[in-house]
Amino acid sequence: MSKENFDTKLAVLENMSQEVIKAPAQPVDVTTQEAENLFIWVQEDKQALISKGLDWETFVEDLPVRTGACRYAQAVWTKERYSQEEAAKSWREEAPKAYEFRNDLLADLRFAFRKRPDLLSRVREIANGDRDADMIQDLMDISVLGKSNLAELEKIKYDLKLLNIAEQKSDSLAELLAKANGATLDNSKAKEIRDRAFTHLKEAMDEIKDTGKYAFRKDPERYKGYISRYRRR
């Protein structure tokens, strides 16, 4: 049901003003459970809340839909976040080996092209730059340069399969780095939608709670249902 709720609310979430969006100040699972509890609690107080101006249809009847949308958005964000963290861990393990492989390939080309100043110049250009993105591009450039000058490599009985491996590594490492970089970004699409869904849910909860606390300010037994247990701890 949460997926259907999310699909129902997606257009609303995407059209929310950026200025009103806030990241959760408490665990999302706590908030969604509080929303479930609140929906049940308010049923007894319907007329009292409506008499104080609460838009029942907009905030109460819509509360389960907002709750489901937020729960699903949180699940998507959690899945993406863990995927990114795993990619970051893999990158930390693979990057040192990739740099060593790149450096070995450059040494191979320098030896193979030692009598070709024009090709040595190209190798020096490839070796410039020390960023991760440079290393990934270097592997592709090395593969292309090597395959364009097979005669020199064959003279030193070079294992030409390494050029294919360099190309494959360049592609796979580029994808891995992109995923790993996502682990450090707070503005991913999934997180933004999660924050929008949370804000949308909290809007309804705040309206209901504020009205309830006002309506039952002299009735402790009903008032307590409009207070967050999480925040009271």
pLDDT in single tens digits along all 233 residues of the chain? 789 999 999 999 999 999 999 999 999 999 999 999 999 999 999 999 999 999 999 999 999 999 999 999 999 988 888 788 888 899 999 999 999 999 999 999 999 999 999 999 999 999 998 899 999 999 999 999 999 999 999 999 999 999 999 999 999 999 899 888 865 554 578 899 999 999 999 999 999 999 999 999 999 999 999 998 776 65
pLDDT at 216: 96
> Which amino acid, one-letter code, is at 227?
I
pLDDT at 109: 96
Q: pTM (2 decimals)?
A: 0.66
pLDDT at 232: 62
Q: What is the DSSP string of the chain?
A: -HHHHHHHHHHHHHTS-GGG----SS-HHHHHHHHHHHHHHHGGGHHHHHHTT--IIIIIITHHHHHHHHHHHHHHHHHHHHHHHHHHHHHHHHHHHHHHHHHHHHHHHHHHTTT-HHHHHHHHHHH---SHHHHHHHHHHHHHHHHH-HHHHHHTT--THHHHHHHHHHHHHHHHHHHHHHTT-S--HHHHHHHHHHHHHHHHHHHHHHHHHHHTTT-HHHHGGGS-HHHH-
Q: Using a CB cutoff of 8 Å and minimum separation of 24, what contacts does 89-93 make?
A: 90/176, 90/180, 91/176, 91/177, 91/180
Asked if 139 and 105 count as a contact pair (C-beta separation under 8 A), the reply is yes
pLDDT at 86: 87
pLDDT at 229: 78
Chain Cα centroid distance, residue 15: 20
What does the angle CA 128 – CA 133 – CA 135 come to, to the nearest 5 degrees?
Answer: 50
Chain Cα centroid distance, residue 207: 30
Question: For residues 224 and 51, what is the distance between their CA atoms, to the nearest angstrom?
Answer: 19
